[in-house]
Structure formats: structure tokens, C-alpha cells
Amino acid sequence: MNRTILHVDLNNFYASVECLYRPEIRDVPVVVGGDVEARHGIVLAKNYHAKQLGVKTGEAIWQAKQKCPGLVVVPTDFKKYLRFSRMAREIYADYTDQIEAFGIDEAWLDVSGSKYISGDGHVLADTIRRRMVNELGITASVGVSWNKIFAKLGSDMKKPNATTVINKYNYKDLVWPLAVGELLYVGRSTKRKLENRAIFTIGDLAKRDIKDLKLLLGVWGETLWQFANGLDSAPVRQSREESIIKSVGNSTTTARDLVNNQDVKLIIYVLAESVAARLRQHGLKCTTVTISIRSNELFSFERQSKLITPSFISSDIALKAMELFKANYFWDKPIRSLGVRGADLVTADNHIQLDLFNGNQVGRENLERAIDSLRNRFGACCIQRGAMILDRRLTGFNPKDDHVIHPVSLFR
């Protein structure tokens, strides 16, 4: 049976949601960005008024303001975005249970079965777009095709609030003339390699000998050739399926440069507490701790080390992270950003190997869970380590609630 796949992309999602709450800024240039004072000042999302003036996602807010002096900058509020993302998902669920998120504002839907009840892919796409406007107050662009890759390309072709159908009869006219960089997973490095071989469009890629592409890019060359020719057969995962969590981490660009071990220790404990809390939330423990370090000259690297036993205790993660830091960083330059990640995860309900010389492990875990309960009830700042008050400019952030939700990979 031929599949019917939709890709729904909520237009200017963060900015659209913010404009719903502040009608007075709907008709002026708006960006959603980080805290400039905390050096998180980049554009995360923009509305069409800002886009028309040349504002780009990812650029610094000060650069955006040079292009648009009257720019309105709104801080992020991920609780609102998650709420609207969940409501959008409820709309999708009226037509299929095969829903696969691609970040907070995009999703693939396999409507192959429901099209016989609710209409073909084009009709369903238009219905979903109307419901987005009428029920949520935001717009969406929808791509319709027989595979996920072309459906994603379709949702990008016409914006805002449009449906694009790419079928087996028109894909050569619609898809092949596009620049090769428009194809999912063709990044800057791959694009440069392809263009060096005179592969400038998706059509050029589709017509190239697959053996030449494998020599150039390895197995990935064959995969991209299949994408370009519409041979993607990856399924849309059902809504109740959960991808395997491979790691849990948080990072931050600090409010000022870190210049000594004490500064680093404060940040590591804030990050470790967030990582540990998220591990407990998912019923997981980590067996490996990874740190990422970036200097103020943007040199970066990662280091990792195994824990003696799996843990979701913040102090275990923080101590291992500090141990890694001291062994690998020699203060050639001040530090601009830090990250802590727990990896090689196992389920938390496994049997615990008790250590007679390392205190009461069960008691420490129960204490951490009690802290979670207090913070859930009274807020993240209701109970904190004493060290956190030493420099509130550095430690006054909540990475657990503020972390950005990134798109997940097509391949799992």
C-alpha cells in the first residue's frame, strides 16, 4: 500500500505563541531570544516582520537590532511552548496514532489508514491547518508525500499556512531543482564535498552514480542518494513509542567568564543537580559522566569517565565532573561555557551493589527524591546548596526547566 505521510511545521512557533499572549506586538518585528545580560543573547525564533528585515535565527540579538532598531525581544517561556506542542499533538491524534515528533514544533504523521475516512492527504493537511488557526491561534505549513524526507521538504516550500503535495508524478519538477543543501542531513561539510564534485542540486545528487557517492561519503552517500530519489522507507513511529534515551545533559554559557576552580565548581553543581533530577524523573542512572568545556576563544573539547557504580545522585555526578575538569584543564584561557552529561544509562530499579565504605547509598537516593518533591511543590529555589549563594550572578539559573528541546534524529 502506498503511504501518505504528512510533515507539520508550526510556523515561527515560539514567536507565534508569544504574540498570542501579547496582541500589541503582533504587527511589529519580534524575536524570541535568550538573556543578553547572561550572554545567552541569540535569536531563537522570529516573526515574519523581523524576517522581512533580514533577521536570522541564530544570530546575536545585537546584530538583529542593528538590522531592525525597533525590534521587540521577548524572553523564552518553554512551558508555554510545550503546552501548545501538546495541544497540537492532540489535534494530530484525531487522525492517526502514528505521530513522530521532530523537535517541539514539527511532527510526521502517517495517515495512510485514516485517509479513507477523513479524506486524502491534501484534504487532511488543509483540515489540520484550519484547526491550528481556529483552535490554537497559530499557523502551520504541511508537506504531503509518500515518504518522510519529501514530506519535510514540502512543509518548507511554502510558508506560512500552506499545503504542498509532492507525489511520484511531480517530485522531479518540485524537488530536483532545489539546492542540495535543502535535503535533510546535508550539512555544510557534506554540501561542500558534494559541490566540489559539481553536485549543486538534489537532482544532481539523484542522477549521480551511487558508487561515486559511496566513495565520496561512504554508506552515507548511498543514503542521501536514496533520499534524493524518494526511496526513503523509514516508518513514522507510533505516538506511544518512546525513543531510547542515550544520555541526559545540560550546558550553559555563563554570565561571566570563569577564571578559577571555584567558579567552575559552582556551575558544575548547578548542572549536576539538573542532570541528576532529570535522570530520576526518567527512572534512570548513569554509569559515565561527560564534561564539555569551551574557552572564551571558543576552543572546545569533551572528556568522560566511568563512575564506580551507576548513580542519579547529584554529588556523585558533580564530584566526577570536577575530577575530570581538574585533570584536563590547565587555565590557559578563561572559560565561557560548561556542560555536564550523564551517559551509558541503566534503569534505576536494578539491584544496588552496596559499598560498605561509601555511606548509605539508599539513604542518599531517598534524600535526593525528597528534594525533588520539595522543588516540585515549592519551586526550584526552595532548597539549594549553601555554595549557590556565593555568586548569584553565576548560579542564578535553572537548567532543568530552561533547557532547549532540540529535534531528534530521523534515525534511531
Q: What is the DSSP string of 31-53?
A: EEE--TTTT--BEEEE-HHHHHT
- Placement of cell 504541511 in the chain: 142
Instruction: State which H helix or E strand residue 80 sits in.
Output: helix 78-92
Q: Indicate the pairing of strand 106-110 with strand 99-101.
A: antiparallel
Angle subtended by helix axes 210-217 and 188-195, to nearest 10: 130
pLDDT given at position 117: 76
What does the block give as the cell for 139? 499557523
Contact 284, 69 (CB under 8 A): no
Q: What is the DSSP letter of 133?
A: I
Close Cβ partners of 246 (under 8 Å, ≥ 6 residues apart) = 343, 345
Distances in Å between the alpha carbon of 236 and those of 4, 60, 399, 404, 412? Answer: 11, 36, 31, 24, 11
- pLDDT tens series, the chain, 412 aa: 589 999 999 999 999 999 999 999 999 999 998 665 555 577 888 999 999 999 988 788 888 899 988 899 998 887 888 899 999 999 999 999 999 988 889 999 999 988 677 778 999 999 999 999 999 999 999 999 999 999 999 999 998 899 999 999 999 999 999 999 999 989 888 999 999 999 999 999 999 999 999 999 999 999 999 999 999 999 998 754 444 567 888 888 888 889 999 999 999 999 999 999 888 888 888 999 999 999 988 788 999 999 988 999 999 999 999 999 999 999 999 999 999 999 988 887 665 555 555 557 777 877 887 877 877 777 767 777 777 777 777 777 767 665 544 455 555 5
pLDDT given at position 123: 94
Domain boundaries, the chain: 1-168, 176-228, 247-402
Helices and strands, counts by H and E, the chain: 17, 12
Q: pTM of the prediction?
A: 0.69
pLDDT given at position 275: 92
80 phi/psi in degrees, rounded to 5: -65, -45
pLDDT given at position 344: 87
What does the block give as the cell for 401? 526547566
How far apart (Å, rounded) are the C-alpha atoms in residues 299 and 175?
38
CATH tag, 247-402: 3.30.1490.100
How far apart (Å, rounded) are the C-alpha atoms in residues 64 and 29?
10
pLDDT given at position 409: 54
What does the block give as the cell for 111? 495517515
Distances in Å between the alpha carbon of 403 and those of 52, 146, 251, 383, 407? Answer: 29, 34, 8, 20, 13
Distances in Å between the alpha carbon of 267 and those of 248, 306, 319? Answer: 17, 21, 12
How far apart (Å, rounded) are the C-alpha atoms in residues 263 and 154?
48
Distances in Å between the alpha carbon of 145 and those of 151, 157, 347? Answer: 5, 13, 39
How far apart (Å, rounded) are the C-alpha atoms in residues 19 and 103?
21
How far apart (Å, rounded) are the C-alpha atoms in residues 200 and 172?
15
Instruction: Give me the residues paired with residue 73 across strands.
Output: 31
Q: Which fold has domain 176-228?
A: DNA polymerase; domain 1 (1.10.150)
Contact 98, 109 (CB under 8 A): yes
3-class secondary structure, 374: helix
Q: Which fold has domain 1-168?
A: Alpha-Beta Plaits (3.30.70)
Catalytic residue, chosen from 18, 106, 273, 368, is 106
Instruction: State which H helix or E strand residue 208 sits in.
Output: none
pLDDT given at position 60: 83
Contact 291, 325 (CB under 8 A): yes
How far apart (Å, rounded) are the C-alpha atoms in residues 78 and 88?
15
How far apart (Å, rounded) are the C-alpha atoms in residues 254 and 44?
18
Q: What is the signed CA dihedral for 51, 52, 53, 54, rounded to 10 degrees?
A: 50
How far apart (Å, rounded) are the C-alpha atoms in residues 99 and 241?
9
pLDDT given at position 371: 79
| DSSP string over 225-266 | HHHHTT---PPPPPTT--PPP-EEEEEEEEEEEE-SHHHHHH
Q: How many residues can be counted in the chain?
A: 412
Q: Is 37 a catalytic residue?
A: no
Q: What is the sign of the dihedral through the CA atoms of 187, 188, 191 and 193?
A: negative
